[in-house]
Amino acid sequence: MKIIKSHKELVAYQIAFKTSMEIFALTKSFPKEEVYSLISQIRRSSRSVSANLAEAFRKRRYEKAFVSKLSDCEAEAAETQVWLDYSLECEYLS
């Protein structure tokens, strides 16, 4: 059994980070009028997933804090899904 020494070794972190970078690249083509609304919101919430996973990893010794950070990850992922829904509905994404 391998001991994980860093949050960067977590598959969930790697997927969340990669996804937020893909969202960053996709949102570069969004209309400029969305810079301070949809673009900033979707980038912030998608980045927050991996950031909260990193925090959860650091707080893993404290069950309640760990679970709380994982709950934050789930909430941010759900928020990102909503912003992606808006992006699809506005036809910024196909």
Q: What is the pLDDT of residues 67-91, one digit of tens each?
A: 999 999 999 999 999 999 999 999 9
pLDDT of residue 1: 82
Phi-psi group of 68: left, alpha or beta (phi > 0 → left; psi -120 to 50 → alpha; rest → beta): alpha
Nearest to 13 by CA among 55, 43, 67, 41: 55
What pLDDT score does 49 carry? 98
The whole-angstrom separation of Cα 7 and Cα 90 is: 35
CATH superfamily of 7-89: 23S rRNA-intervening sequence (1.20.1440.60)
Residue 15's pLDDT band (cuts 50, 70, 90): very high
pLDDT at 70: 96
Name every residue whose Cβ is closer than 8 Å to that of residue 63 and which is 6 or more positions away in sequence. none
Q: Where are the domains of the chain?
A: 7-89
- At 19-60, the pLDDT tens digits run 999 999 999 999 999 998 999 999 999 999 999 999 999 999
Supply the DSSP string of 32-66, one letter for each residue. GGGIIIIIHHHHHHHHHHHHHHHHHHHTTTSHHHH
Q: Which two tokens stand for residue 6?
A: 């860093």
What would the two tokens of residue 20 be?
């937020």
